[in-house]
Chain A
Amino acid sequence: MIPSQFDYAAPTTVEEALGLLAGAESAGDDVKLLAGGQSLIPVMKLRMADPSLVVDLGRIPGLSGITDDGASLTIGAMTPHHVVATDPLVAAHVPLLAQAAATVADPQVRHRGTFGGALVHADPAGDMPAPALAVEAVFNLAGPNGNRSVAAADFFQGYFTTAVEEGEILTSITVPKYTGWGSHYGKFTRVAQQWSIVAVAAMVRVEGGVIAEARVGLTNMASTPLRATSTEAALAGCALDATAIAAACAHAAEGTEPASDLNGDADYRRHLVTVVAKRAVMAAAGL
Chain B
Amino acid sequence: MTATAEGKRAEVGSARLRKEDAHLITGRSRFTDNMVLPGMMHLAMVRSPFAHAKITAIDTSAALASPGVFAVLTGADVAGEQGSLPNAWPVTPDQKAPDHPAIAVEEVAFAGEIVAVVIARSAAAARDAVELVDVDYSELPVVMDLEEAATDKILAHTSLASNKSATWVFDSGDAGTGTAIAEALANSDVVVERTLYQQRLIPAFMEPRSTVVDPTGEQITMWSATQIPHILRLMLALTLGIPESKVRVIAPDVGGGFGGKLQVTPEEIITVVAARRMGKPCKFTETRSESLQVAHHGRAQVQRLKIGATKDGIVTGLHVDLLADMGAYLGLITSGIPVLGAFMYNSIYKFPAYHFECHNIFTNKAWTDAYRGAGRPEATFAIERMMDELAVELGMDPLELREKNWIKHTEFPFTTVAGLEYDTGNYEAATEKALSLFGYEELRAEQKLRRDSNDPVQLGIGISTFTEMCGLAPSRVLGALSYAAGGWEHAQVRVLPTGNVEVVTGSSAHGQGHETAWSQLVADRLGVPFENVEVLHGDTQVAQRGLDTYGSRSLAVGGMAVLAAADKVIEKARAVAAHIMEASEDDLEFANGSFSVKGTETSTSFGEIAFAVFSAHNLPDGMEPNLDSEATYDPVNFSYPHGTHLAAIEVDTETGAVTIRKYVCVDDIGVVVNPMIVEGQVHGGLAQGIAQALFEEAVYDDAGTLVSGSFVDYLVPSAADLPHYITGRTETPSTTNQLGAKGVGEAGTIASTPAIVNGVIDAVRHLGVKDIKMPCTPARVWHALQEAKTTGGAA
**A and B touching (C-beta < 8 Å)?**
yes
CA distance A2 to B690 in the complex (A): 33
- Checking B655, B710, B712 against A188 with a beta-carbon cut-off of 8 angstroms, the contacting residue is B655
Are A190 and B128 in touch, CB under 8 angstroms?
A: no
Q: Please report which residues of chain B, range 99-141, place their CB below 8 angstroms from some CB of chain A when the two chains form the complex.
A: 123-124, 127-128, 131
Are A190 and B718 in touch, CB under 8 angstroms?
A: no
Q: Is B192 an interface residue when CB atoms closer than 8 A count as contact?
A: no
Q: Please report which residues of chain A, range 232-287, place their CB below 8 angstroms from some CB of chain B when the two chains form the complex.
A: 262-265, 268, 271-272, 275-276
CA distance A193 to B708 in the complex (A): 16
Q: Is B715 an interface residue when CB atoms closer than 8 A count as contact?
A: yes
- Checking B654, B697, B717 against A191 with a beta-carbon cut-off of 8 angstroms, the contacting residue is B717
Are B124 and A2 in touch, CB under 8 angstroms?
A: yes
Are B718 and A192 in touch, CB under 8 angstroms?
A: yes
CA distance A271 to B657 in the complex (A): 13
Are A191 and B287 in touch, CB under 8 angstroms?
A: no
Are B782 and A190 in touch, CB under 8 angstroms?
A: no
Are A46 and B779 in touch, CB under 8 angstroms?
A: no
Q: Tell me how many residue pairs across A and B have CB atoms closer than 8 Å.
A: 58
A5-B128, A262-B699, A275-B655 given as contacts; is B707 within 8 A of A190 (CB)?
Answer: no
Are B289 and A190 in touch, CB under 8 angstroms?
A: no
Q: Is B276 an interface residue when CB atoms closer than 8 A count as contact?
A: no
- Provide the residues of chain B in CB contact with A268, threshold 8 Å: 656, 778-779, 782-783
- Provide the residues of chain B in CB contact with A275, threshold 8 Å: 654-655
Q: Is A194 an interface residue when CB atoms closer than 8 A count as contact?
A: yes
- Provide the residues of chain A in CB contact with B287, threshold 8 Å: 1
Q: Is A59 an interface residue when CB atoms closer than 8 A count as contact?
A: no
Q: Is B727 an interface residue when CB atoms closer than 8 A count as contact?
A: no
- Checking A2, A263, A271, A276 against B777 with a beta-carbon cut-off of 8 angstroms, the contacting residue is A263
Q: Is A111 an interface residue when CB atoms closer than 8 A count as contact?
A: no
- Provide the residues of chain A in CB contact with B782, threshold 8 Å: 268, 271-272
Q: Please report which residues of chain B, range 401-423, place their CB below 8 angstroms from some CB of chain A when the two chains form the complex.
A: none
CA distance A197 to B782 in the complex (A): 14
User: What residue in chain B is nearest A272 (Cβ atoms)?
Assistant: B655
A1-B287, A5-B128, A262-B708 given as contacts; is B715 within 8 A of A194 (CB)?
Answer: yes
A40 CB to nearest B CB, Å: 15
- Provide the residues of chain A in CB contact with B717, threshold 8 Å: 191
Q: Is B720 an interface residue when CB atoms closer than 8 A count as contact?
A: yes
CA distance A192 to B123 in the complex (A): 33
Q: Is the interface of B mostly helix, strand, loop or mixed?
A: loop
- Provide the residues of chain A in CB contact with B718, threshold 8 Å: 191-193
Which of the listed residues B123, B654, B712 has the most CB atoms from chain A within 10 Å of its own CB? B654
Are B127 and A2 in touch, CB under 8 angstroms?
A: yes
- Provide the residues of chain B in CB contact with A262, threshold 8 Å: 697, 699, 707-708, 713
Q: Is A4 an interface residue when CB atoms closer than 8 A count as contact?
A: yes
CA distance A188 to B654 in the complex (A): 12
- Checking B131, B710, B777, B783 against A190 with a beta-carbon cut-off of 8 angstroms, the contacting residue is B777
What 0/1 pattern do residues 260 to 289 of B give for CB contact below 8 A with A? 000000000000000000000000000111
User: What residue in chain A is nearest B719 (Cβ atoms)?
Assistant: A192
Q: Please report which residues of chain B, range 743-795, place their CB below 8 angstroms from some CB of chain A when the two chains form the complex.
A: 777-779, 782-783
- Provide the residues of chain A in CB contact with B656, threshold 8 Å: 268
User: What residue in chain B is nearest A269 (Cβ atoms)?
Assistant: B779
What 0/1 pattern do residues 1 to 39 of A give for CB contact below 8 A with B? 110110000000000000000000000000000000000
B569 CB to nearest A CB, Å: 48
- Provide the residues of chain B in CB contact with A148, threshold 8 Å: none
CA distance A87 to B779 in the complex (A): 36
User: What residue in chain B is nearest A45 (Cβ atoms)?
Assistant: B287
- Checking A192, A264, A272 against B721 with a beta-carbon cut-off of 8 angstroms, the contacting residue is A192
CA distance A24 to B783 in the complex (A): 50
User: What residue in chain B is nearest A1 (Cβ atoms)?
Assistant: B287
User: What residue in chain B is nearest A268 (Cβ atoms)?
Assistant: B779
Are B131 and A264 in touch, CB under 8 angstroms?
A: no
CA distance A46 to B289 in the complex (A): 9
Chain A residues packing against B (C-beta within 8 Å): 1-2, 4-5, 46-47, 188, 190-195, 197, 262-265, 268, 271-272, 275-276
The 3 residue pairs across chains A and B that have the minimum distance between CB atoms: A192-B720, A264-B779, A268-B779
Given A192-B718, A264-B777, 4 more pairs with CB closer than 8 A: A1-B127, A1-B288, A4-B131, A268-B782
Identify 21 residue pairs between A and B in the complex whose beta-carbon atoms are under 8 Å apart, listed by A's number: A1-B287, A2-B123, A2-B127, A4-B131, A5-B128, A190-B715, A190-B777, A190-B778, A191-B695, A191-B715, A191-B720, A191-B721, A192-B720, A192-B721, A193-B718, A193-B720, A194-B712, A194-B715, A263-B777, A268-B783, A276-B655
